[in-house]
């Protein structure tokens, strides 16, 4: 199933939650959008268009990292004391070398680290956990852990922290409903799916 279909089902799930809880029109609209986004989250584990959309511009990150590297070398050379000078220039040169080697496929990992650091500086638990989720998703194979019960539990914790942070009733159920709707839509029993999902990882890798 493609991303648009997943998002549409998730949005519908958000609408059902909003109706059940009798939320205000603006909250209903928010929950519909949140349901759509939540239904796309499990597929962060693919090398596809979705990945390119959510990750920061590859060239921009490269440029910023290289600029910081150059500034560190120059600053350390003029301002550092004897030891600091060489350490600072060394780190700057390593940064320049590493940033030249950043590839598109590492962008999701870098995005995860960015979200994690953002969460730490803002002291938002849900953002820290989301960063960890994205980091893990960037390493596991497609339709594995993000498409399992373990993935649902992890995302459920993120959703409950998000609801507590926003103070909006229905956020938790909407995120969970959107996420679970994705896994149901990816099940092998549906005629348009060639592959199923490994719901019981890591206990069993049977495809359902
Ligand atoms: Zn999927």
Give the pLDDT confidence of 15-45 residue by residue, as tens digits.
Answer: 999 999 999 999 999 999 999 999 999 998 8
- Ligand 1 centre distance from Cα of residue 186 (Å): 6
- Ligand 1 centre distance from Cα of residue 143 (Å): 6
Of the candidates 182, 191, 190, 104, the residue with the CA atom closest to the CA atom of residue 142: 182
- Ligand 1 centre distance from Cα of residue 96 (Å): 36
Answer whether residue 62 shows pLDDT above 80.
no
Quote the pLDDT of residue 52: 55
Most confident stretch, 75-79, 106-110, 177-181 = 177-181
Q: Distance from CA of residue 98 to its chain's centroid?
A: 23
- Ligand 1 centre distance from Cα of residue 158 (Å): 19
Answer whether residue 10 shows pLDDT above 60.
yes
- Ligand 1 centre distance from Cα of residue 182 (Å): 6
- Ligand 1 centre distance from Cα of residue 20 (Å): 27
- Ligand 1 centre distance from Cα of residue 142 (Å): 8
Q: Give 48's pLDDT tier (boundaries 50, 70, 90).
A: very low
Q: Give 49's pLDDT tier (boundaries 50, 70, 90).
A: very low
- Ligand 1 centre distance from Cα of residue 205 (Å): 16
What is the pTM for the complete model shown?
Answer: 0.78
Average pLDDT, the chain: 87
- Ligand 1 centre distance from Cα of residue 185 (Å): 8
Answer whether residue 200 shows pLDDT above 50.
yes
Quote the pLDDT of residue 88: 79
- Ligand 1 centre distance from Cα of residue 133 (Å): 15
Identify the residue with better confidence: 179 or 3.
179
Identify the residue with better confidence: 196 or 66.
196
């Amino acid at each position: 199933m493609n991303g648009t279909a997943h998002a549409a089902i998730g949005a519908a799930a958000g609408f059902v939650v909003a109706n059940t809880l009798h939320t205000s029109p603006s909250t209903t609209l928010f929950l519909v959008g949140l349901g759509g986004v939540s239904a796309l989250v499990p597929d962060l584990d693919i090398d596809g268009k979705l990945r390119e959309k959510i990750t920061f511009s590859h060239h921009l990150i490269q440029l910023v990292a290289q600029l910081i590297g150059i500034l560190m070398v120059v600053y350390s050379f003029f301002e550092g004391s004897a030891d600091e000078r060489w350490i600072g220039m060394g780190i700057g040169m390593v940064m320049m070398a590493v940033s030249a080697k950043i590839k598109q496929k590492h962008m999701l990992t870098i995005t995860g680290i960015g979200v994690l650091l953002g969460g730490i500086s803002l002291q938002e638990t849900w953002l820290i956990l989301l960063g960890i989720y994205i980091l893990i998703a960037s390493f596991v194979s497609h339709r594995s852990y993000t498409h399992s019960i373990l993935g649902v539990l992890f995302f459920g914790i993120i959703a409950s922290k998000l609801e507590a942070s926003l103070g909006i009733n229905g956020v938790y159920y909407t995120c969970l409903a959107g996420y679970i709707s994705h896994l149901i839509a990816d099940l092998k029993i549906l005629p348009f799916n060639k592959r199923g999902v490994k719901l019981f990882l890591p206990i069993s890798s049977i495809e359902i």
